[in-house]
């Protein structure tokens, strides 16, 4: 399936049904129907062709969460071009580097990003067309003008290959790479989503997180069922709670950091969650203690997913029902796992020399199957490196238990070696999160003359709560022993975070080393 097929499948179930709905205060409840999004996609595809965009060319969208912007994705697909989602929260230099790497020839942008575009477009000679989606903008043609004179009649161009989108990996470890995802990858991800989680006809999905990330690709299985996607332009948790109740939301996605904030929100206890079938969580490890709290207060609807850009979303899953035993008791021993590998995906644990390890042994998590990307765009060396021994290497350290549940211990790059012992930062973070005063935390290794690296923790407390350094160290020591106990604990008012809410350990470490 191509990306456009998800929209057309949903439209075949009823073109007048709501497809993309505004979830912001200004236009809350205003919807584009499936038929209207189809018509937009036909016109956008025709406009792309008229602008010289050929099949296989790369077209980027630089926008906040917006129904029209996301609707243009299907016009790109219908033109046989490749969608390049660009995170609007990136710095200008990073976006310039990504657009250059992707060989983008056309950029669709919201007017609020005009200053950013003005700083980078001169350095992007391949970009021949800039279209402003929501008004006038210097150096750009407005969307109505660009679409002018084009009929909303069926139009479709065959692509040269199966590449559907290019996703940037981010440049935290060097120059960013472009992940090539094919129609087959997205089809596999969508099928696994529908296999793994509860769905009923015409689900209603609330997109708070950026549509350039997990929240965006989760739209495709919803569209297959003729569902409605309620798009939030800004991540406001009070508005999120109101929209869940007002639109009778059935599915949504939040990273753990936002779930922690949601649990502390005063509006949580008065929100009606009875419509919710699944609240996906993922993109970072979640505290087992806070997960239990979320299940207790929100309902038995929490569903975990584990994936990465190179194997999107569904390497392993823990469906809402799997958070419980058959007798209805909480399956707490699974809360620190990432669920079981999905049916179309092989997952194994590999040693440094390429040997596959038995259950319980720790090593790198490797993956095979149709979920895995064909490679990095114009980077055969990186593709070869990440595909060693015939498996995709995730860069995560973990193990499979005797029941087949996957446990992610840490990112390989975040492992701390202290006094000759391997200490996994995520394990220490889980221990710290069991303290009721801890809202979030980060554990890193700092250079130490005697130990090589010193386990160091930075903790953010709940508002109005207190905890001493000795108290927090004692919690870890009791659970994990003295070797893994942080030698230093600092309490910060907030932690540095990425555009999608992940704690930035590189920034934490840099601040500690100042």
Helix (H) or strand (E) holding 479: helix 469-480
Contact 397, 411 (CB under 8 A): yes
The mean pLDDT value for 37-42 works out to 98
Contact 313, 307 (CB under 8 A): yes
Please write the tens of the pLDDT for every residue from 338-349: 999 999 999 999
Mean pLDDT of the chain: 93
Tell me the percentage of the chain whose pLDDT exceeds 90.
78
From 5-14, 75-84, 107-116, the region with the lowest mean pLDDT: 107-116
The mean pLDDT value for 281-305 works out to 93
Contact 463, 448 (CB under 8 A): no
Interstrand relation of 129-132 and 31-33 (parallel, antiparallel or unpaired): unpaired
The mean pLDDT value for 213-227 works out to 92
Instruction: For 73-132, give the DSSP string.
Output: HHHHHHTT-EEEEE-TTS-HHHHHHHHHHTTEEEEEE-GGGHHHHHHHGGG-TT--EEEE
From 56-65, 214-223, 237-246, 382-391, the region with the lowest mean pLDDT: 214-223
**DSSP state at residue 53:** P
pLDDT at residue 500 in the model? 65
For residues 262 and 238, give the distance between their C-alpha atoms in angstroms, rounded to a whole number.
Answer: 9
Exposed, middle or buried, 484 (CB in 10 Å: 0-12/13-18/19+)? buried
Confidence of residue 173 (pLDDT cuts 50, 70, 90): very low
For residues 185 and 162, give the distance between their C-alpha atoms in angstroms, rounded to a whole number.
Answer: 9
The pTM of the full predicted model, rounded to 2 decimals, is 0.87
Chain-centroid distance of CA 130 in Å reads: 27
- pLDDT exceeds 70 at position 209: yes
> What stretch(es) of the chain map to CATH 3.40.50.12780?
3-16+27-172
Residue that is written with structure tokens 């790497």 in the block: 101
Q: Determine the number of helices (DSSP H) and then strands (DSSP E) in the chain.
A: 16, 26
Helix (H) or strand (E) holding 294: helix 288-298
pLDDT at residue 499 in the model? 65
The third-level CATH classification (topology) of the domain covering 415-513 is GMP Synthetase; Chain A, domain 3 (3.30.300)
Please write the tens of the pLDDT for every residue from 104-119: 999 999 999 999 999 8
- pLDDT exceeds 70 at position 87: yes
> What stretch(es) of the chain map to CATH 3.30.300.30?
415-513
The mean pLDDT value for 478-499 works out to 90
pLDDT at residue 174 in the model? 57
The mean pLDDT value for 246-263 works out to 93
Alpha helices in 121-270 (DSSP H): 143-147, 183-196, 214-217, 219-224, 237-246, 256-263
Instruction: For 340-363, give the DSSP string.
Output: EEPTT-EEEEE-TTSPBPPTT--E
Confidence of residue 238 (pLDDT cuts 50, 70, 90): very high
pLDDT at residue 170 in the model? 58
Query: Which CATH architecture fits 3-16+27-172?
Result: 3-Layer(aba) Sandwich (3.40)
Please write the tens of the pLDDT for every residue from 307-320: 999 999 999 999 99
Tell me the percentage of the chain whose pLDDT exceeds 70.
99
pLDDT at residue 166 in the model? 96
pLDDT at residue 171 in the model? 46
Please write the tens of the pLDDT for every residue from 18-34: 999 999 887 888 999 99
CB within 8 Å of 495: residues ≥ 6 apart? 440, 441, 442, 458, 460, 503, 504, 508
């Amino acid at each position: 399936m191509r990306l456009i097929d998800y929209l057309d499948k949903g439209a075949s179930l009823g073109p007048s049904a709501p497809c993309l709905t505004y979830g912001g205060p200004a236009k809350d409840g205003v919807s584009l129907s499936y038929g209207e999004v189809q018509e937009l996609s036909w016109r956008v595809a025709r406009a792309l062709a008229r602008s010289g965009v050929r099949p296989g060319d790369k077209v980027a969208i630089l926008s906040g969460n917006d129904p029209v912007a996301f609707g243009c994705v299907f016009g790109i697909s219908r033109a046989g071009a490749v969608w390049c989602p660009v995170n609007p929260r990136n710095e200008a230099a990073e976006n310039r580097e990504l657009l250059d790497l992707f060989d983008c020839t056309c950029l669709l942008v919201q007017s609020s990003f005009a200053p950013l575009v003005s700083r980078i477009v001169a350095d992007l000679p391949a970009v021949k067309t800039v279209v402003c989606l929501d008004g006038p903008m210097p150096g750009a043609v407005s969307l109505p003008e660009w679409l002018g004179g084009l009929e909303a009649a069926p139009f479709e161009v065959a692509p040269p290959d199966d590449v559907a989108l290019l996703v940037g990996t981010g440049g935290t470890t060097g120059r960013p790479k472009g992940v090539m995802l094919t129609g087959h990858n997205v089809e596999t991800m969508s099928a696994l989503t529908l296999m793994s989680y509860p769905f009923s006809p015409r689900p209603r999905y609330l997109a708070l997180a950026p549509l350039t990330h997990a929240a965006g690709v989760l739209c495709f299985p919803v569209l297959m069922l003729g569902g409605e996607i309620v798009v939030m332009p800004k991540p406001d948790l009070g508005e999120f709670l109101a929209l869940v109740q007002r639109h009778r939301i059935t599915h949504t996605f939040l990273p753990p950091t936002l779930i922690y904030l949601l649990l502390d929100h005063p509006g949580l206890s008065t929100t009606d969650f009875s419509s919710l079938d699944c609240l996906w969580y993922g993109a970072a490890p979640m505290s087992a203690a806070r997960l239990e709290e979320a299940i207790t207060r929100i309902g038995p609807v929490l569903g975990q997913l584990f994936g990465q850009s190179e194997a999107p979303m569904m390497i392993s899953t823990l469906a809402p029902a799997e958070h419980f035993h058959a007798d209805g008791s909480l399956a707490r021993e699974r809360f620190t796992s990432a669920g079981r590998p999905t049916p179309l995906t092989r997952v194994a644990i590999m040693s440094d020399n390429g040997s596959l390890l038995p259950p319980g042994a720790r090593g790198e998590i490797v993956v095979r199957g149709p979920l895995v990307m064909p490679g990095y765009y114009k980077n055969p060396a990186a593709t070869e490196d990440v595909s060693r021994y015939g498996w995709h290497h995730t860069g995560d350290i973990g193990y499979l238990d005797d029941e087949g549940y996957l446990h992610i211990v840490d990112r390989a790059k975040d492992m701390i070696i202290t006094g000759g012992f391997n200490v996994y930062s995520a394990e220490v973070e889980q221990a710290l999160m069991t303290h009721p005063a801890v809202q979030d935390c980060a554990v890193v290794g700092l250079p130490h003359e005697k130990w090589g690296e010193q386990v160091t923790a930075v903790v953010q407390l709940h508002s109005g709560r207190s905890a001493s350094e000795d108290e927090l160290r004692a919690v870890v020591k009791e659970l994990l022993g003295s070797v893994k106990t942080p030698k230093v604990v600092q309490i910060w008012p907030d932690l540095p975070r990425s555009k999608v809410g992940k704690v930035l350990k590189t920034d934490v470490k840099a601040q500690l080393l100042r």
